[in-house]
Chain A
Amino acid sequence: MNNLYSEDFEPSSSAAWKQKIQFELQGADYNKTLLKQTLEGISIKPFYHSDSFQKLNSTSKQNTAQLCEPINIDSEINANKKALFAIKNGANAIKFNVKNSFNSTILFDNLLNKNITFHFNFHFLNEVFLTELIQKLENEVVFYNIDIIGNLAKTGNWHSTISSDFNIIENLLKRNASTFILGINSNIYQNAGANNVQQIAYTLAHVNEYLTKFGANIASKIQFNFSIGSNFFFEIAKIKAFRYLYNLILQKYNISANAIIFCEPTKRNKTKIDLKTNIIRSTNECLSASIGGSNTVSTFLFDNLFTLNNTLSEKVSKNQLLILKKKCNIENIQNIAEEASYIESLSVQIAEKSLAIFKDIEKSGGFLSQLKNDTIQRKINENAQKEQTAFNNGTIVLTDIINLKKHNTNKPSKNKLKAGYKTLITPIIEKRLTEKLEH
């Protein structure tokens, strides 16, 4: 059985492969024709062969992923209805985006004790409200994703003051040691235009502020929220690289922990042009997230981008969930990237570059310090500008917008985006690539 191959065929090497390609190129430049440079400074080679195999020496493994539906709480009744509908269509996790405190009895009506995992994204920090909510949901698996540093980065301000914010977290952590209180909202960086290497480096530096402040015992009780972009294999490699690096920095605390990773499709490449194309983009991104080993994969909330009526909104939600669950089998494809030469090689390169940036940040006083002196914002802005320029000159393509671009010659704005209110630091603001074209 095993010699089906060897009885007829000879093994061959990457050197032979390259030689054969060069022969066929008939003098054309190998690097120019066949290598693809990315903004991370990593080039995609035309082939990867097992004779130059390399991978991160990592032991952590993730076997099944949960499928999550994001829901804005506009009213408790509506949000509850949407959650029940999503569960019916295969979701086993729900993420609530919360702007104001809510009535938890109405919101969770019929949702408890059903083996559903809940995630929150709070736009405020209210200790009394949170304490009550934690009590109400004590028998459920819940990720509260409270991230005061992320909030500072995103809005430019602390919720209240630095000391009050940190005090509230300290109290919550003390009283609820086994609960997932903290989250690292790395999606802010991706959605503002940071590249994959920067995202990993900033996420590590970001979490290290909490580890330094609260101690490493919280390491396994933090959830990392990533946004996933369109470069299919880089996104898989990004998650693998992060898992490895998180444990590497934890070595300094003499502890190890499996990073808990939540992924959602990026907003950056979404357009207001064609809903169907955007659904395909987000499906693709969810597929990357789950192959990369994300613990939870979330669908995209199109209601924020398109004005969808209830029927269409439900249809889009159902369609996304069913495709991911039934057709992509996203809950069980975690291991297919294991030891694939290309993907493992990318993980190594991303990890090396991210670690170097992380070390720089730590050496210069840490993430908060670099946020305060605008370094992180400047670096993200630089990459975002590069991406925008590449989009404007056609190197980065969004396929549903090509026709629109022909009629629009707007140059990218070089001004920094500013929040419309007074801030302590420059906020890191989300920006989609096509915003200017859609005006």
Chain B
Amino acid sequence: MRRKDFSDLKIDIQTEKKQSFEYEQSIAGNAPFLRGIYTSMFIQKPLKCKMVIDHNSPLKSNEIIKINLKKGYQDFILKFTSKNSSNGIKVNSVDDMCILLNDLPLNNISFTLNLDTTLNIPLIAIFLATSEELGFNNKQINFSIQHCIKNSIKKNNLTDTLFYLNKHVSQFETILFSTTFSEKNINFENTLAKLISNISNYIEVCLSKGLKIDNIAPKFSLSIELNGSPSNTIAQLRALRIVWSKLIKQYSPKLEESQALKIHITNSNSYLNTLSAVLGGAQSCITSKENFNLIEKETFITKTVDPFGGSNIIEEFTKKSANKIWNLITEIKNNNFKKEFNQNKTNKPKLRSKNILELSIDAAKKRIKLGEIFNIIEDIE
């Protein structure tokens, strides 16, 4: 056969999509932030790789942190023992905490205090008192608190904590709200809806105590487990950001950033989950540096924002997931409203003259032990 002449071949480009979604006109860095909370995402704000530190001995835990600082880790989750669990670092006093934090560049590390049980104000107090004793003032300390909503928080404690930290610890990052996720992904959206409704209750308590939404919302974030295939996961993370943004908007924030949801992934220790966390635009995950380095340096995935944006399947999943979570939240809130209405809202929380976290820090500085600080603040309540 004679050779064909291909010189006149032209590529036919189509500029219309087959399916379009309202969401697609959204950009990262603007509400509802579904494409990402920062305008250029990982190019300028890399995903944080967190490492869990949970050795029982503060001394051993301190050594583990030092070894991993050398490997390039900067973000550590400190998991402490609690009433429910003896797994974790055992810290009872400023002296124990001094051993744990000894010789660490606290101004260059970020810690997440994982407080398994109730909002453990005495432990936060011991942490802050210790860092001050080690020569770092409150303004240099970068830390977050992780709280599981399955354990109740005393409403006053939450507002006192947030009030104190906002005022005195300028680099206090966030309270990560987490919950327990079922293994089988049956009710993933239900779980998320409950988690967000719960947080919205906390927001309302804080508002009722005089805190502004712009001082509350940016300090609240979600800590979740990933579930399902990468395509589902990417869509769910995008959906969560829409729902959050919509929820916060109801409280009329002045700052748009208040509507941006930070998402932390706790079960990302496999490569695939880390990949999904990146593709879905999460802020941090518990993963090995190796996994994340490979994604960042070898695959070029982090070079563009929300790379699956516009995909008909991902957009469709996002829409369905957002609608489902939003409707569930509305349903839960309606039920709660009825309950509260029936209870006749007379028992408003009483205002306390002294901030409970501040009191605890004072106590910690006086070398009063964890259990005793608990007793002191218990009496006040």
The interface of chain A, by Cβ under 8 A from chain B, is: 1-2, 4-6, 8-9, 11-14, 16-17, 20-21, 24, 33-34, 36, 38, 44-51, 53-57, 208, 211-213, 215, 230-234, 244, 248-249, 251-253, 269, 277, 280-281, 283-284, 287, 323, 327-329, 333, 335-344, 348, 351-352, 355, 358-359, 362-363, 366, 397-400
Contacts and interface: CB of A to CB of B under 8 A. Distances in A.
Nearest to B239: A4
B15 A323 contact: no
Instruction: List the 7 shortest-distance A-B pairs measured between CB atoms, nearest first.
Output: A11-B25, A340-B311, A341-B310, A397-B297, A57-B12, A17-B27, A50-B24
B19 A339 contact: yes
A338 B323 contact: no
B6 A362 contact: yes
Contacts of A45: 304
B9 A56 contact: no
Given A34-B43, A45-B304, A336-B308, 17 more contacts: A2-B22, A12-B30, A20-B30, A21-B29, A46-B43, A49-B27, A51-B25, A54-B14, A233-B307, A284-B299, A337-B308, A340-B308, A342-B308, A343-B307, A362-B7, A397-B297, A399-B294
Given A45-B304, A47-B40, A339-B312, A359 B6 contact: yes
Contacts of A249: 4, 6, 9
- Interface-central residue, A9, A16, A55, A56, by most chain B CB under 10 Å: A9
B271 interface: yes
Interface in B284-322: 290-291, 293-294, 297-301, 303-314, 319, 322
A217 to B, nearest CB: 11
A11 B305 contact: no
Contacts of A335: 312-313
Contacts of B246: 4, 8
Interface residues of B, number: 71
B39 A253 contact: no
Interface string B1-32: 11111110101111111111011111111111
B290 to A, nearest CB: 6
B20 A55 contact: no
B310 A355 contact: no
A399 B297 contact: yes
Contacts of A51: 25
20 contacts: A4-B326, A5-B322, A8-B32, A33-B43, A48-B310, A56-B12, A56-B13, A208-B4, A212-B2, A212-B3, A231-B299, A244-B11, A252-B5, A253-B4, A335-B312, A339-B19, A340-B311, A362-B4, A362-B7, A400-B290
Contacts of A234: 300
A24 B231 contact: no
Contacts of B4: 208, 212, 249, 252-253, 362
Nearest to A38: B300
Given A21-B39, A230-B299, A337 B27 contact: no
A16 B27 CA distance: 8
B301 A233 contact: yes
B249 interface: yes
B242 interface: yes
B374 to A, nearest CB: 43
Contact of A340 (B12, B16, B43, B310): B310
Given A212-B3, A340-B308, A362-B6, A20 B242 contact: no
Interface in B330-376: none
- Interface-central residue, B290, B305, B307, by most chain A CB under 10 Å: B307
B230 interface: yes
A21 B311 CA distance: 23
A248 B304 contact: no
Contacts of A336: 231, 308, 311, 313-314
Given A47-B304, A336-B231, A280 B323 contact: no
Nearest to A236: B307
Chain A binding surface SS class: helix
Given A53-B310, A333-B230, A8 B249 contact: yes
- Interface-central residue, A281, A336, A337, A366, by most chain B CB under 10 Å: A336
A17 B311 contact: no
B13 A348 contact: yes
A11 B304 contact: no
Contacts of B290: 277, 399-400
Contacts of A344: 310
Given A212-B1, A233-B301, A280 B294 contact: yes
Contacts of A244: 11
A13 B25 contact: yes
B14 A57 contact: yes
B303 A215 contact: no
B275 interface: yes
A144 B22 CA distance: 48
A214 to B, nearest CB: 8
B272 A351 contact: no
Interface string B241-283: 0100110010000000000000000000011100100000000
Contacts of B17: 50, 53, 55, 339
Given A45-B304, A213-B1, A333-B231, A342 B31 contact: no
A338 B311 contact: yes
A427 B157 CA distance: 74
A250 to B, nearest CB: 10
Nearest to B4: A252
Nearest to A252: B4
Contacts of B18: 339
Nearest to B325: A4
A277 B6 contact: no
B55 to A, nearest CB: 24
B39 A17 contact: yes
B304 A20 contact: no
A339 B30 contact: no
Contact of B298 (A21, A230, A339): A230
B3 A366 contact: yes
Contacts of A362: 3-7
Nearest to B15: A54
B26 A9 contact: yes
Contacts of A34: 40, 43
B229 interface: yes
B314 A248 contact: no
B28 A47 contact: yes
B325 to A, nearest CB: 10
B24 to A, nearest CB: 4
A233 B300 contact: yes
A70 B107 CA distance: 51
A270 B246 CA distance: 46
A20 B24 contact: no
Contacts of B28: 17, 47
